Amino acid sequence: MAKKRLIVIDGLEDKQGRSLLVISSLYKCRSELADTEIRFIDVDSPAVRGAVDLLHWETGLDVRIPSDLSEYGGDSMFAGASLYAAIRFNSLDGLHVAEAKFFKVPLLLALQFLPESATSEQLALLQPAHDPALFAQHLIERMR
C-alpha cells in the first residue's frame, strides 16, 4: 500500500489566521484528496476543531488535529509533508515557514491584504486568499 501524501495546514482562526476559509476550500477539492493525510496545526479555536471534525464526517477525508507528535515518531510533522498551506490576513508571522523550508516542503501561503513589498507569488494568490474554490485549485496544483 502506497504511503499517503501529507498536507500540513495552519489551524489558526484569529486576527491573522483564516483556517475556516481553508477548510471551506478542502470541501471544494475533496475528491482529489482521498489519498491524502490532512493535519491542522496550532489549532486553538473550538470553531476550527468543530469544522475539522465535520469535514471528516461529511467527506470521509483523513483530516484531523494531532494531539502530539508521537504518530510522527517524535519528529517534525513537516518531515515527508507534500505541502504546507495557510490563508492569512496580512502577515506570515507566526507560521512554521522556516521548519517547512528546512524539510523542503512546498508552500501555499496566501495573504488577503498585501504589503507594499508584495512578491509576484503573493500577488498571484491574492484572489485565492478570498475564494475557497480558487484556493482549492492552487492546493491541488501544488500537490502535483
> Phi/psi class of residue 71: alpha, beta or left (left: φ > 0; alpha: ψ in -120 to 50)?
alpha
Axis crossing angle, helix 46-59 with helix 19-28, rounded to the nearest 10? 10
**Count of structural domains, the chain:** 1
What is the per-residue pLDDT for 53? 98
* CATH number for the domain that contains residue 50: 3.40.50.2000
User: Which amino acid belongs to residue 122?
Assistant: Q
Average pLDDT on 4-9 reads: 95
- Tens of pLDDT along 105-133? 999 999 999 988 888 999 999 999 999 99
Each residue of 31-88: pLDDT tens digit?
A: 999 999 999 999 999 999 999 999 999 999 999 999 876 565 567 889 999 999 999 9
Burial string for 64-96 (b: 16+ CB within 10 Å, else e) reads beeeeeeebeeebbbeebbbbbbbbeeebeebb
CA distances from 14 to 24, 48, 76, 109 (A): 16, 11, 24, 16
For the chain, give me the number of helices (H) and strands (E)?
A: 5, 5
Q: Give the model's pLDDT for residue 69.
A: 60
What range defines the domain where residue 40 resides? 5-143
d(CA 131, CA 129): 6
Strand order in the sheet with 107-111: 62-64, 36-41, 5-10, 83-88, 107-111
Neighbours of 9 (CB within 10 A): 26
To the question of pTM greater than 0.85 for the whole model, the response is: yes
| Alpha carbon distance, N-terminus to C-terminus of the chain | 19
